Amino acid sequence: MGLVVQKYGGSSVADAEGIKRVARRIVDTRKAGHEVVVVVSAMGDTTDELIELAEQVTPIPSGREFDMLLTAGERISMALLAMAIKTLGFDAQSFTGSQAGVITDSTHNKARIIDVTPGRIRNALDEGNVAIVAGFQGVSQVSKDITTLGRGGSDTTAVALAAALGAEVCEIYTDVDGVFTADPRVVKKARKIDWIAFEDMLELASSGSKVLLDRCVEYARRYNIPIHVRSSFSGLPGTIVSNDNPNKPEGGEMEQAIISGVAHDTSEAKITVVGVPDKPGEAARIFRAIADAEVNIDMVVQNVSATSTGLTDITFTLPKTEGQKAIDALGRVKDGIGYESLRYDDAIGKISLVGAGMRSNPGVTATFFEALSEAGVNIELISTSEIRISVVTRAEDVPEAVRAVHTAFGLDSDSDEAVVYGGTGR
Amino acid sequence: MGLVVQKYGGSSVADAEGIKRVARRIVDTRKAGHEVVVVVSAMGDTTDELIELAEQVTPIPSGREFDMLLTAGERISMALLAMAIKTLGFDAQSFTGSQAGVITDSTHNKARIIDVTPGRIRNALDEGNVAIVAGFQGVSQVSKDITTLGRGGSDTTAVALAAALGAEVCEIYTDVDGVFTADPRVVKKARKIDWIAFEDMLELASSGSKVLLDRCVEYARRYNIPIHVRSSFSGLPGTIVSNDNPNKPEGGEMEQAIISGVAHDTSEAKITVVGVPDKPGEAARIFRAIADAEVNIDMVVQNVSATSTGLTDITFTLPKTEGQKAIDALGRVKDGIGYESLRYDDAIGKISLVGAGMRSNPGVTATFFEALSEAGVNIELISTSEIRISVVTRAEDVPEAVRAVHTAFGLDSDSDEAVVYGGTGR
């Protein structure tokens, strides 16, 4: 029996009862003969309450101090969890990110892990302890200041420790039963996925699925650490994210497209730069200005230019929260680039179909667009990758669009079987 | 202008408004040209809330994890305070006890400071920062685990840093205006003391005055760090605790008793060991049993034995919270010692008069007992030191007794002057 890393999110440890329930689950894993490292988030709304306190004190919190403040949250949950485990008769010790050897760069509020030196964790395990580690935090390599890892930081902590300690699996416990073929709040008939490849999970994550963030999946893929996403409430098996399907059908891989799911995202806005001179270097100048403003962009679309004018339009999507920053940055370079105007639209939504073997199966794209058309959904932008098709529509059309696509690909839980397309899959 | 260490208690930083008020006070000190190190406690009821959470999770929290939990409280207040100072345009950095170099032994929940290595604090000051340090916490020398210093730990942190950094004064900010001649809640006419010697403050502290704890005063006396106890609300000068009275009257010291104040304490209980054989070693065995149970005792009184029986009674006082532990410990050694019975009484109170030159001024003791007698207060135990007389009475007599003594020694605020006794003072 090997080493298991388990990560519990804030909703799993929201109160004393939750902490005791999680402690029992950890002890069960320990009793099954595994060494256990637990990564824990702050309890329930603790982080939001700390952020609110900071807002009451200052309009612009210092990055260093904001990290010092927020890391108090995991300190509370991890100590309580260690106490609860000891009450069940098992040894446990809690460790801050710094004590656990999570070394980061110095970018406060969204630091990146640059090394993991889990010597104290290894010792604690060797002495028979369950090691409880604060998620979401580390210590900067140069200044030795406390840092936080930003969004999805606790999941990334868990995967990074799993990689550094050679764990056999990283279990991510959450308040849902796993990764679904679509958001169950939108699609009542969404099905839990038993297994999904890293690449497909990455596309789902970057297309709006909230269960895992792309950053954590990317880390797991790089170090080949299987992730098991499951519920801390039900105890049922969840979704395995790995390189190889553990329950691969006999006869090996079939050459067919395997649709993983439908993701959607209504957190983005769309900016169109209208009337850009269609000559080399113009797009580069636009996106350099955006990058210098530290704005992350998602889809980028440029149509062929109208030959009569020699002008083209460039459209891209980005988080709504960064919209103003991008508009300001582009405004500053208007004269240098010479575009005509900017259009900003935040009433959009994105629907993405993710699955292997899609590009080599033309039927997939056709079915996708037919489903949207029959649902009366107008498509504003299209973007594709090897294993994903995404479209941008009006935000209010998103729920209907997701349901239509989900049904069209036989993903509904009452379908007899998934629709299979012949072709060169993996 | 030298280095000033300021300590703010939980009531001074109870909410965002309090934190901003404290930040303004710190900035004022900085503007006056001082280097400033700030030691801060957890906000308001934070520590109590964390203790309650621990109680919900486990009946017997692990010492190591309990310390990890509680230290989250100062982490929150110190980060918020640093943010608030930066908002006022001054640089500030917060440090945990561990980062500040507060090295302790490994006794969780009541660790003792064994070294202070404030290199990071010194660097932060050199770079122009206000350094904010978490009170009440440190890191153990051997195991590098987080420890807490127990009761009065934040005051002790402040004094220890002041000593290690060579500060010119350690300011302890609290919610009262300073040290008073008696508890103002009991004696309406109590007066604020402008200056008091370390020794007198030590006696007041160990006699029940809650403003400073004896541990912190002892540390300050050892390193000769003047303490200034003052209000974070009013901004008025408070009470200086030091070796030398900065406002010494012209003409030098007069040989007279100087009464500092009247302290009282109703948190103790009284245990009488009845019928102890009056021979060498019996008292030692009793107090060894008490010490082995880690019970702190206060007053000890043994009367001359009745010659007819060869038996004596030994009475001591101790915190009520440790009463059961002491009774159990003495019960276990009953056969070895051969005493007759134990009497436990927790309806007692202690009144102490503290002042220099007391023993050599018989009039002081006489006035003290006369005042109690006229107030109809019965005395159950008496204990004296060079600069203190303490008596134990019924708990319900304490307020009247304190007022009577306060008036008798001319300490009331509407008295024209204090009563002065001739003799060999300091």
pLDDT, tens digit (0-9, with 9 covering 90-100), for B17-62 = 999 999 999 999 999 999 999 999 999 999 999 999 999 999 888 9
Let me know if residue A199 belongs to a domain. no
In chain B, whose CA is at the least distance from the CA of A92? B65
Task: Verify that B169 and B260 share a domain, yes or no.
Answer: no
A232 vs A49, A78, A152, A226, CA distance in Å?
Answer: 24, 16, 18, 18
Rounded Cα distance between A13 and B7, Å, is 34
Let me know if residue A140 belongs to a domain. yes
Task: Verify that A385 and A284 share a domain, yes or no.
Answer: yes
Let me know if residue B212 belongs to a domain. no
SS3 B388: strand
CB-nearest partner of B94 from A60, A68, A87: A68
* Residue B134 contacts A where some CB pair is shorter than 8 Å: no
Task: Verify that A367 and A269 share a domain, yes or no.
Answer: yes
Those of residues 94-113 in A touching chain B at CB distance below 8 A are 94, 99
Task: Verify that B152 and B255 share a domain, yes or no.
Answer: no
Q: Are the Cβ atoms of B83 and A71 closer than 8 angstroms? A: no
Let me know if residue A87 belongs to a domain. yes
pLDDT of residue A421: 42
Residues B406, B262 contacting (CB under 8 angstroms): yes
pLDDT single digits (tens) B153-180? 999 999 999 999 999 999 999 988 999 9
State the alpha helices, DSSP H only, in B39-118. 46-57, 63-70, 72-87
Residues of chain A contacting residue B92, judged by C-beta atoms under 8 Å apart: 62, 65
Last residue of a domain, one of A175, A207, A230: A175
CB-nearest partner of A75 from B20, B59, B75: B75
pLDDT band at B140 (very low <50, low <70, confident <90, very high): very high
Rounded Cα distance between A378 and A392, Å, is 9
Q: How far is C-alpha B91 from the chain's CA centre? A: 33
Task: Verify that A279 and A133 share a domain, yes or no.
Answer: no
Task: Verify that B156 and B261 share a domain, yes or no.
Answer: no
How many Å lie between the alpha carbon of B114 and the closest alpha carbon of chain A?
A: 22
pLDDT single digits (tens) B372-391? 989 999 888 888 777 888 89
The reply to whether the predicted model has a pTM over 0.90 is no
Task: Verify that B149 and B272 share a domain, yes or no.
Answer: no
Task: Verify that B255 and B397 share a domain, yes or no.
Answer: yes
pLDDT above 90 covers a percentage of chain B that reads 64
Task: Verify that B262 and B405 share a domain, yes or no.
Answer: yes
In chain A, whose CA is at the least distance from the CA of B96? A68
Suggest the residue from B26, B62, B127, B132 to mutate for an interface test with chain A (most A CBs closer than 10 A): B62
B205 vs B152, B184, B210, B213, B314, CA distance in Å?
Answer: 11, 15, 6, 5, 25
* Residue A14 contacts B where some CB pair is shorter than 8 Å: no
Domain carrying residue A337:
251-426
pLDDT of residue A420: 41
ipTM associated with this complex = 0.74
Let me know if residue A265 belongs to a domain. yes
In chain A, whose CA is at the least distance from the CA of B13? A57
CB-based contacts of B410, cutoff 8 Å, min separation 6: B417, B418, B419
- Indicate whether B400 pLDDT > 90: yes
CATH at residue B91: 3.40.1160.10
Residues of chain B contacting residue A69, judged by C-beta atoms under 8 Å apart: 75-76, 79-80, 83
CB-based contacts of A197, cutoff 8 Å, min separation 6: A241, A242, A243, A245, A260, A356, A426
Let me know if residue B414 belongs to a domain. yes
The tens-digit pLDDT sequence of chain A (426 residues) is 699 999 999 999 999 999 999 999 999 999 999 999 999 999 999 999 999 999 999 988 889 999 999 999 999 999 999 999 999 999 999 999 999 999 999 999 989 999 999 999 999 999 999 999 999 999 999 999 999 998 889 999 999 999 999 999 999 999 889 999 999 889 999 999 999 999 899 889 888 888 888 889 989 999 999 999 999 888 799 999 998 877 665 554 455 567 889 999 999 999 999 988 877 778 888 888 888 888 888 888 877 666 677 788 888 999 998 899 999 999 998 988 889 999 999 999 999 999 877 766 777 888 888 899 899 998 888 887 778 888 999 999 999 999 999 999 989 987 654 444 433 222
Task: Verify that A264 and A171 share a domain, yes or no.
Answer: no
Nearest to B178 by CA among B237, B260, B258, B244: B237
Cβ density class A56-85: b for 16+ within 10 Å, e for less: ebbeebbbbbbbbbbbbbbbbbbbbbbbbb
Q: Are the Cβ atoms of B59 and A87 closer than 8 angstroms? A: yes
CB-nearest partner of A83 from B54, B93, B99: B54
- Indicate whether B414 pLDDT > 90: no
Let me know if residue A16 belongs to a domain. yes
pLDDT of residue B387: 83
How many Å lie between the alpha carbon of A358 and the closest alpha carbon of chain B?
A: 50
SS3 A189: coil
* Residue B68 contacts A where some CB pair is shorter than 8 Å: yes
CB-nearest partner of B80 from A57, A84, A92: A57
Let me know if residue A159 belongs to a domain. yes
Residues B424, B357 contacting (CB under 8 angstroms): yes
Instruction: Work out the average pLDDT over B73-92.
Output: 97
Task: Verify that A296 and A398 share a domain, yes or no.
Answer: yes
- Indicate whether B288 pLDDT > 60: yes
Residues B289, B332 contacting (CB under 8 angstroms): yes
Copy the structure tokens of residue A194.
């038993």
CATH at residue B303: 3.30.2130.10
Q: Are the Cβ atoms of A87 and B60 closer than 8 angstroms? A: yes
Suggest the residue from B13, B83, B146 to mutate for an interface test with chain A (most A CBs closer than 10 A): B83
- Structural domain total, chain A: 2
Last residue of a domain, one of B129, B157, B175: B175
Q: Are the Cβ atoms of B76 and A64 closer than 8 angstroms? A: no
Residues of chain A contacting residue B65, judged by C-beta atoms under 8 Å apart: 79-80, 82-83, 86, 92-94
Last residue of a domain, one of B141, B156, B175: B175
Q: Are the Cβ atoms of B57 and A84 closer than 8 angstroms? A: yes
How many Å lie between the alpha carbon of A70 and the closest alpha carbon of chain B?
A: 8
